[in-house]
Amino acid sequence: MADYLVLARKYRSATFEEVVGQGHVAKTLQAAIRSGRIAHAFLFAGTRGVGKTTVARILAKALNCLSVDAPTPTPCGKCDACQAIARGEDMDVIEIDGASNRGIEEIRELRSSAIYHPARSRYRIYYIDEVHMLTREAFNALLKTLEEPPPHVKFIFATTEPEKLPATVISRCQRFDFRSIPAGEIRRHLQAVCKAEKVAVEEAALARVARSAAGSMRDALSLLDQLLSSGGGKLTEQEVIDVLGQPSDERTAAVVAAIAQSDPAKALAELEALLAGGMSLEGALGALAEMFRNLMLVLTCGPDSDLIELPEGPRQQAAELAKKFTLPAAVGAIGICTSTARAIRGLSNPRGLVEAGVVRMAGADKFVDAASLVERLGKLSSGLPAAPLRRPQAGPSAPAGQAFSNEQKKKIAPAEDQLAPAQAASPAASQANEADPDAQAQTQHVNDAPGEEPLDWRPEQLPAQWSAVMQALVGRRQAALAGLLAQARPQATEAGLLRLSYGLNQELIRRRAEQAAAQVNEVLSRLFGRQVRCEFVSSQQEGKPSPGNGVGPVLSTAQREQLNKDPAVQAVLEFFDGSVANILPAPSGQQEPQGSEE
């Protein structure tokens, strides 16, 4: 009985035209051969089973085919050289496994043999698979020969991890990136194989095998070989499910439907039924993630998108399920599935974590949405009325690309009566904004505290109200900036220039303030409702406090040490992991000095 040849070898592509899923590589190589621009070194990069070795052998046949007098893009496949290369046995095409021949001694042997001319062909071709496995010393020994090889030598490298190759090697090669093969192309190739093998097979079974291959033609052919060896007159989808241990689309859809109904108990029951059929926890999470991916694509691109690699029946089922989800809910479910699958690796009892993930997806309305929490904190910090916390929705979805429906937006938005007092606090500004839309946009950009009047910018009044400016900075949580500006003597102009003068003994403070000039300009512009540009200069009055700033007397060293040791101050510093930048005497109406932390 003749030895059986597996399908992956029996139906290996023999010409550039037969290559599946890598047309960009095949066309480029054919064009190079026709034009005579054949590089001395090629690098084929891509995941497993996408055709790197197949294309390397076709290229070797194209270069060494004996039926023509020069390299040809269409090798005959019948001459002795073509047949020997196809079997991997040609004496002039040396195939080397980089994983087992990775040392410097093997590369030295390669270099010493490269000087000899080929026995019968035009080129001596070295094909090194998994070239990233070579040692650093081996790469260094190969560099010179790789850059300037003898005219009769060609190198072809293949790797699944090109990022591990030294840049000096990559720069000496023409690089070709092999893509993952789409499931549709894999399915069509499997149909041709089954027809050649005279095997009856269901369309849904081939579609499931193609999806399971994850872009690898060799994996798809190996799975098909395994399924055909199980016997039976016709390959059905149920046999694929039984042999490969995959859940049916109906069973996976039942879990997703329970999640859409926000019913954790039912979702766990459907998960139990899924696992009772022999499905592993990792397989169940993968199936759920794939289902939610299809829902996301339906919501984003529509049910007829080519990105959805499903037959007609499952495609319609996904379209119906997608109506029960919002786009954020589908995206969030994918994240939960993938993160849970990553987290259960290595756990002795991972089922509880998987069930927790399912409960989290089904009970999404009971969990706070992170985006709404950030929005709420931002509004609280700026003094605006905070919107109620949102929760992920698993109910009927909005149109594709819209995260929330109009009814949901009404529930999320703050009540109008909460915003009315802030909007009506400055009638003069409102009238000016109505008359000048550009002024309205500028006011919203400069003044970040709706409902508050901007501070008085009159240059003659600014020194007297400098203490009020410091209090406003502290009230806006800019105590560090207040500490830098408190000792300055302000001098303003109508043009928006603010000159801040420091004593010679305050040079360190002036430099720190100057380093924060962009932040100071932005904050003061918001306070005064106009564009402010600051200059930081040194005063000739060394050691004298700046007049008119209203900050009171300077604290003694003993007072500063006492405040630094205060338990409340220490607690704040420890909580925020900060340090004391400056200590300000209390403004009028307060009894204690204020410390600014950063």
Q: Which of 85-94, 226-235, 364-373 has the lowest mean pLDDT?
A: 364-373
* Distance between CA atoms of residues 53 and 65, nearest Å: 18
- String of DSSP letters for 166-196: -HHHHTTSEEEEPPPPPHHHHHHHHHHHHHH
Q: How far apart are CA 56 and CA 67, in angstroms?
A: 19
Residue 2: per-residue pLDDT: 60
Q: Which amino acid is at 212?
A: S
| pLDDT classification of 584: cutoffs 50, 70, 90 | low
CATH topology of domain 249-366: Zinc Finger, Delta Prime; domain 3 (1.20.272)
CATH architecture type of domain 466-552: 2-Layer Sandwich (3.30)
**pLDDT at position 219 over 50:** yes
Is the Cβ–Cβ distance between 394 and 259 less than 8 Å? yes
Task: Decide: residue 531, CB within 10 A, 0-12 exposed, 13-18 middle, 19+ buried.
Answer: middle
What is the distance between the alpha carbons of residues 24 and 27, in angstroms, rounded to a whole number? 5
- In 166-275, where do the E strands start and end? 174-177, 200-201, 234-235
Distance CA 369, CA 356 (A): 17
- Kindly report, residue by residue over 250-261, the tens digit of the pLDDT: 889 999 999 999
Ramachandran angles phi, psi of 156, nearest 5°: -130, 120
CATH of domain 7-177: 3.40.50.300
Q: How far apart are CA 107 and CA 100, in angstroms?
A: 12
Q: Per-residue pLDDT for 265 more than 70?
A: yes
Task: Please identify which residue in the block is written with the tokens 């600051």.
Answer: 534
Give every CB contact of residue 77 below 8 A, 6+ residues apart in sequence.
14, 15, 61, 83, 86
Whether 284 shows a pLDDT value over 80: the answer reads: yes
446 half-sphere exposure, CB direction, 13 A CA radius: 20
**584 DSSP 8-state letter:** E
Q: What is the structure's pLDDT at 173?
A: 95
Average pLDDT over residues 553-570: 67
The mean pLDDT of 379-400, rounded to a whole number, is 47
Confidence of residue 449 (pLDDT cuts 50, 70, 90): very low
Instruction: Kindly report which listed range (35-49, 312-326, 545-559) carries the lowest average pLDDT score.
Output: 545-559
**Residues 6 or more apart whose Cβ sits within 8 Å of residue 46:** 52, 160, 177, 178, 179, 180
Look at residue 549 in the predicted model and tell me its pLDDT: 42
CB proximity list for 89: less than 8 A, separation 6 or greater: none
How does pLDDT run across 53-101, given as a tens digit for each residue? 999 999 999 999 999 999 999 999 999 999 999 998 999 999 999 999 9
Angle between helices 281-301 and 264-276 (to 10 degrees): 120
Per-residue pLDDT, averaged over 318-335, amounts to 91
**pLDDT at residue 571, rounded to an integer:** 62
With contact defined as beta carbons under 8 Å apart, do 492 and 462 qualify?
yes
Burial label for 593, CB within 10 Å (0-12, 13-18, 19+), is middle
Is residue 442 pLDDT above 80, yes or no? no
pLDDT digits (tens, 9 = 90+) for 126-161: 999 999 999 999 999 999 899 899 999 999 999 999
To the question of domain 183-244 being in CATH 1.10.10.410, the answer is no
What the block records as the tokens of 106 is 């093997």
Of 272, 274, 319, which is closest to residue 300 (Cα–Cα)? 319
> Lowest-confidence range among 262-276, 329-343, 578-592?
578-592
Query: How far is it between the farthest Cα atoms of the chain?
Result: 108
The pLDDT of residue 407 is 47
Q: Which residue has the tokens 């930081």?
A: 536
Give the model's confidence band at 415: pLDDT under 50 very low, under 70 low, under 90 confident, else very high: very low
Q: Which helix (H) or strand (E) holds 533?
A: strand 533-538
pLDDT at 376: 59
Higher-confidence residue of 414 and 133: namely 133
Residue 44 has pLDDT above 80, yes or no: yes
Mean pLDDT across the chain? 80
Residue type, 466: W
- Cβ–Cβ contacts within 10 Å for residue 341, how many? 21
* Both tokens assigned to 280: 């592993």
Assess whether pLDDT exceeds 50 at residue 399.
no
Q: What residues are paired with 93 via a beta bridge?
A: 125
The answer, as to whether pTM is greater than 0.75, is no
Grade residue 527 by pLDDT with cuts at 50, 70 and 90: confident
Q: Are 537 and 500 in contact (CB under 8 A)?
A: yes
Q: In degrees rounded to 5, what are phi and psi of residue 241?
A: -65, -45
What residue spans define the domains of the chain?
7-177, 183-244, 249-366, 466-552
Whether the pLDDT of residue 591 is over 50: the answer is no
Other C-beta atoms lying within 10 Å of the C-beta of residue 259: 30
pLDDT at position 493: 80
Which stretches does DSSP call E strand in 28-114? 41-45, 93-97
Q: What does the pLDDT average to over 452-466?
A: 78
Compute the distance between CA of residue 65 and CA of residue 125 in angstroms, rounded to an integer.
Answer: 13
Q: Average pLDDT for residues 181-205, to the nearest whole number?
A: 90
Do the beta carbons of residue 510 and residue 489 sit within 8 Å?
no
Question: Residue 383 pLDDT more than 90?
Answer: no
pLDDT at 375: 61
**Residue whose token pair is 């090109």:** 162
